Amino acid sequence: MGKRTVTVNGSGRASVSPDVVRLELRVGHDADDVAAALAGATDGIRKVGAVVRDRGVADADIRTLDAGVNQRWDNTGTAVGFTAQQRLGVTVRRLEAVGEILEAAAAALGNALLVDSVRLDVADRSDGLRRARDAAFADARDKAQQYAGLSGAELGAVLGVAEGGAARVASYSSKVMAMAADAAGGMPVEGGDLELVAGVTVTWQLV
């Protein structure tokens, strides 16, 4: 007769204070030919790079995410030119600078700038994930102890542990078109709290 076992899933969460904002900024440019479209998008993304650098963002926190060119068509199906787009990922380590960056970038590029994402994050998640995993294992153990009692047994040795995944939840994000700023102050970003969640599957021997 094989060993009696119990296998349960546990989940745990840990609150962390966000200390960075991750921006995804996109610049588009329409032109009659591919070369002109690419040149316009490249010029725009360089302007965005200059704006973020002027506000203290390090080169290591700026990266190109993707770029592409698509043909444009009018409502009759006739080709009318090309649209080039480039996307830039920016990590801002001063939360209060986010509004300034978005306002200055919108002023420099107008409607050519799109803000695909404004996302709060934590630069180093290791401590929060460790606490979330502790909570997930404790949750699994509590469940297993209950099942063991219901089956007239006690928990023995742990026979297997598998992580069920870890992810950030409760972050702030938006997808808006950035317009030239016409009011005082930039887009406010409040820090608040984030939660990190971990999942685990644990198998115990029943004795």
Same domain for 178 and 93: yes
Q: Determine if residue 102 is left, alpha or beta; phi over 0 gives left, psi from -120 to 50 gives alpha, anything else beta.
A: alpha
Same domain for 159 and 79: no
Predicted local distance difference test score (pLDDT) of residue 193: 79
Q: In this structure, what DSSP letter does residue 29 have?
A: E
Coil, strand or helix: which one is 54? helix
Same domain for 90 and 154: no
Quick: pLDDT tens for 80-125.
999 999 999 999 999 889 999 999 999 999 999 999 999 999 999 9
Secondary structure element (H or E) that encloses residue 51, with its range: helix 34-54
Predicted local distance difference test score (pLDDT) of residue 181: 36
Q: Determine the average pLDDT of the residues in 151-161.
A: 96
Same domain for 131 and 118: no
Confidence of residue 194 (pLDDT cuts 50, 70, 90): confident
Measure the CA–CA gap between 57 and 89, rounded to whole angstroms. Answer: 11
Burial 131-159 (b: 16+ CB within 10 A, else e): bbbebbbebbbeebeebbeeeeeebeeee
pLDDT at 176 over 90: no
- pTM for the whole thing? 0.72
| DSSP output for 85-151 | EEEEEEEES-TTHHHHHHHHHHHHHGGGEEEEEEEEE-S--HHHHHHHHHHHHHHHHHHHHHHHHHT
Same domain for 135 and 112: no
Same domain for 182 and 86: yes
pLDDT at 167 over 60: no
The tally of domains found in the chain comes to 2
**In whole numbers, what is the pLDDT of the chain averaged over residues?**
88
Share of residues in the chain with pLDDT > 70 (%): 86
Which residues span the domain enclosing 130? 5-15+126-166+200-206
Q: Is residue 42 domain-resident?
A: yes
Same domain for 184 and 83: yes
Same domain for 32 and 99: yes
Q: Is residue 140 domain-resident?
A: yes
Predicted local distance difference test score (pLDDT) of residue 13: 94
Confidence of residue 182 (pLDDT cuts 50, 70, 90): very low
Closest CA to 60 of 116, 123, 127, 16: 123
Q: Is residue 195 domain-resident?
A: no
pLDDT at 168 over 90: no
